Chains A and B, each alone.
Chain A
Amino acid sequence: MSLAISAVDYVTEIKNGNITVEEFISKTIERIKKIDGKLHAFLSVNENAIIQAKEIDRKIKANENVGKCMGMPISFKDNICVKGSKTTCASKVLEDFVSPYDATVVTKLKSEDAIIIGKTNMDEFAMGFTTEFSAFGPSRNPWNSEYVPGGSSGGSAVAVSALESIASLGSDTGGSVRNPASFCSVVGFKPTYGLISRYGLISYSNSIEQIGPLTRTVKDTAFLLNIIAGIDSNDNTTVDNKEENYLNDIDAGVEGKTIGIISQMTKGVDKEVSSATKNAVSQFEKLGAKIEEVSIDMVEYSVASYYIITATEAGSNLARYDNIRYGFDFDLEGYEFNSYISKARKNFGPEVTRRMILGGFVPSAGHAGKYFLKALKVKNKLTSEINDVLKKVDLLVAPTVPILPFKFGEKIDDPVALFLIDFNTVTANLTGKPAISVPFELSNGLPIGIQILGKEMQDKLVLQAAHALEKTTNLPEVPV
């Protein structure tokens, strides 16, 4: 029995009785024990997973109703609340926090008999690109452990890529699902804003962040989306998807579609990434799509706008961490109210501290006009420009990340170099559009992903195009 199967194939294997849930879960846990000491994808592992697997096997044997996931091991980024489990956001500030409730995505997957195999590593409070900002140490790229796995959902990407979990849910504020998916050669999807409930996702930047799946195949993303998408009374930003079935017509292809290449996102990229993008475009042409180069001027300003908006929202969202009602073990005795809170908040890591300073600075009196209001105007104008372009083309394509995965420590001291990693991904977040990263090539053993972006609520078309591109590839198994 191989762990290198897709979620859709896993369900078939279980239904056909070729494997049991217990066998698969046991093997997955063995794998985690064997390799996660090195890769550090997980911050915690579910110790009851085998007991839960046995119960699902019993239900299958007894012909009782079993949910669509049939006991498949799924992991969650550690900023998604799972009742009774630690949810740390990879921060010392929440080191001892145990969530008293389930996020909506967790409730939905549990009700379909998914087994939560563990909680995955991330950059602290999802602020980062490499997992180097995790308070508990970074994750490592399974394709070459000297290299970063991307971030902030780096642990989720590593877990899926290294066969430690069939699928994972991460969060994408500026590329945090797609960027590590690209670096680790897995599929990463950021849906239309509001398609997936954010209830139970620890807030960083509410106006643009979304929960998104990381999977081995595009079909697996569609499979998960069928379960987790849709309106939720606990999240007023959710949208009604009319119970769309994302797996139906997944083979529709791109014949007759017009695909735009965003010129701003293909300039100044690594030559290997540029070559892969040209190859992907050529594949789309062979599949019958018409290709057009398009220009979206505001893309040049998107990263600055993104950082100003997210820092401002983070400054407000993270104000709640005073360590009084929940947090880490730090006695109140002997402290005055304000000095206690300041001392407790020293447990934030350096990147979170810097972004909160930024979040206090950019919207403050005297600076808001120069920074925050301009950032909001860029967001408006970018949305208007991309909507105009998407009237002429059906889909947009670009490299997911402009550069190849890089070594640990290489960029950590240069905040602007780190900012620019997100150059191609933040546009989808600022404009609420769906976007996916598809594994496409390897260059010297390092993965390159291609991003496909579509119109709001046309997530299905994005998945169809991604599936068509995925079928043209023939990538090797991960070398661990």
Chain B
Amino acid sequence: MNQLVSKEEIDRVAKLMRIEIDDHVVHIDRVQKMIEYFDILDKAGLESEELIIQEQKFEDLREDKHIPYNEKLIDKLKNYKNSYVRAPKMV
């Protein structure tokens, strides 16, 4: 089988997605099967197909204004201390 996705590639992508993967074998095998299936798109004959970009007029967008909420949402968060959310230290 053509090794499309290597352990290193999965490690790299997992790191980008901030995921720790202990069992590479399970994920490599499955992700590889999924990506192999996606190769079907090579037969779709899309060479002349253009990508259509949807445009939305500025005036159609919701007004950019603060909508007050009747409760203090920050109180509902985890790790809330006084007036801030505590996060792990950055080294």
Q: Which residues of A contact B (CB under 8 A)?
A: 98, 100-101, 233, 236, 298, 300-301, 304-305, 307-308, 315, 319, 322-327, 332, 335-343, 345-346, 348, 350, 353-354, 356-362, 364, 370-371, 373-378, 380-381, 414-416, 419
When chains A and B are docked, how far (Å) is the Cα of A323 from the Cα of B87?
10
Query: B25 interface residue, CB < 8 Å from A?
Result: no
Query: B49 interface residue, CB < 8 Å from A?
Result: yes
Beyond A98-B76, A342-B18, A374-B44, whether A325 also contacts B85 by CB under 8 A is: yes
Determine whether the beta carbon of B17 is less than 8 Å from that of A375.
no
Beyond A374-B44, A380-B49, whether A341 also contacts B38 by CB under 8 A is: no
Beyond A353-B21, A356-B19, A357-B13, whether A336 also contacts B46 by CB under 8 A is: no
Determine whether the beta carbon of A326 is less than 8 Å from that of B77.
yes
Beyond A308-B38, A358-B35, whether A378 also contacts B44 by CB under 8 A is: yes
Beyond A350-B26, A357-B17, A361-B5, whether A416 also contacts B90 by CB under 8 A is: no
Determine whether the beta carbon of A353 is less than 8 Å from that of B88.
no
Known: A342-B18, A371-B35. 13 other contacts (CB 8 A): A336-B88, A337-B90, A339-B88, A342-B20, A348-B19, A350-B26, A350-B27, A357-B13, A357-B31, A358-B35, A359-B17, A377-B44, A415-B30
| Residue of B whose beta carbon sits closest to that of A325 | B77
When chains A and B are docked, how far (Å) is the Cα of A172 from the Cα of B35?
23
List CB contacts (< 8 Å) of B34-49 with chain A.
Answer: 34-35, 37-38, 40-44, 46, 49
Chain B, interface size: which category? 35 or more
Determine whether the beta carbon of A376 is less than 8 Å from that of B51.
yes
SS class of chain A's interface: helix, strand, loop or mixed?
A: helix
Q: How far is the CB of A302 from chain B (nearest CB, A)?
A: 10
Determine whether the beta carbon of B85 is less than 8 Å from that of A419.
no
Query: B52 interface residue, CB < 8 Å from A?
Result: yes
Query: Contacts of B37 on A, CB cut-off 8 Å?
Result: 304, 307, 415-416, 419
When chains A and B are docked, how far (Å) is the Cα of A319 from the Cα of B16?
10
When chains A and B are docked, how far (Å) is the Cα of A305 from the Cα of B16?
23
Q: How far is the CB of A122 from chain B (nearest CB, A)?
A: 21
Q: Hey, what's the 0/1 contact readout for B56-91 against A, CB within 8 Å counting as 1?
A: 000001100000010101001111000001111111
Query: Contacts of B69 on A, CB cut-off 8 Å?
Result: 101
Query: Contacts of B61 on A, CB cut-off 8 Å?
Result: 236
When chains A and B are docked, how far (Å) is the Cα of A377 from the Cα of B87?
41
